[in-house]
Amino acid sequence: MSPRLTSEPISNVEQLLDRLLLLADKAGERPGLSELDHGLQCAAELRLAAPDDVELQVAGLIHDLGHGLCSISIHAEFGADLVRPVMGERIANLIALHAAAKRYMVTTDKEYLSQLSPVSRKSLELQGGLMSPSEVAAFEANPDCDSAILLRKADDAAKTPGRLVPGLDVWIEPLRAAAL
């Protein structure tokens, strides 16, 4: 049976790699940018921003696995659930938080909204828009909030068609090292 995008949880690194390879043919938010390109660029950004945090880098690589499998409003949580069995709680938590981090940043930094792509602005509303004060407090109380903000910034920077970054082969060992 050939690999396919599916909503079934991923149980090992080989299945995860198969799913990532399928993203090479899945169009991203800009022409000439696949979902795999976006993940690779995000991981490369995080390798520069947090060179000692392999789990954060891996979360950046796989943060959008939920795209196309569910509503954009829940893709972060859905993607987290897909990878939790093989990648564990921290990576799943970072993936789950990347949409909330966008909402947090728009709420707490009035300049941030102007930096978002049109697609990210549209999805912001579908994901809940501005956070309430209690949502801000809950986000700030999460031990991964700072890392989630780094992931969000990398996500925003990872949208350049044709940008040269290390390929998926470079991420096989980090994926294996970060797996349970």
pLDDT at 156: 95
**Domain assignment of residue 167, yes or no:** no
Does a structural domain hold residue 4? no
Q: Pick the more confident residue, 118 or 52.
A: 52
Neighbours of 65 (CB within 10 A): 24
CA distance 87 to 174: 11
Model confidence at 5, in pLDDT bands (50, 70, 90)? Answer: low
Flag whether 119 is in a domain.
yes
Distance CA 113, CA 102 (A): 9
Tell me which amino acid residue 99 is: A
**128 domain-assigned:** yes
Tens of pLDDT, residue by residue over 39-64, are 999 999 999 999 999 999 999 999 99
Domain count, the chain: 1
Whose tokens are 């031990």? That residue is 143
What CATH number has the domain bearing residue 149? 1.10.3210.10
Residue 124 in domain: yes
Kindly indicate the confidence band of residue 20, based on its pLDDT and cuts at 50, 70 and 90: very high
pLDDT for 9: 86
Task: Provide the domain limits for residue 151.
Answer: 13-158
Asked if residues 122 and 129 have their Cβ atoms less than 8 Å apart, the reply is: no
Average pLDDT value for residue range 144-159: 97
Element (H, E) at 81: helix 75-108
Confidence of residue 1 (pLDDT cuts 50, 70, 90): very low
Whether residue 33 is contained in a domain is answered as yes
Q: What is the DSSP string of 97-157?
A: HHHHHHHHHHHH-TTHHHHS-HHHHHHHHHTTSSPPHHHHHHHHHSTTHHHHHHHHHHHHH
Domain-located, residue 169: no
Band the pLDDT of 125: cuts 50, 70, 90: very high
Q: Is 101 contained in some domain?
A: yes
Other C-beta atoms lying within 10 Å of the C-beta of residue 73 = 14
Residue-wise burial string across 46-64, b where 16 or more C-beta atoms lie within 10 A, e elsewhere: bbebbeebbbbbbbbbbbb
Task: List 34's β-bridge partners, or say none.
Answer: 27
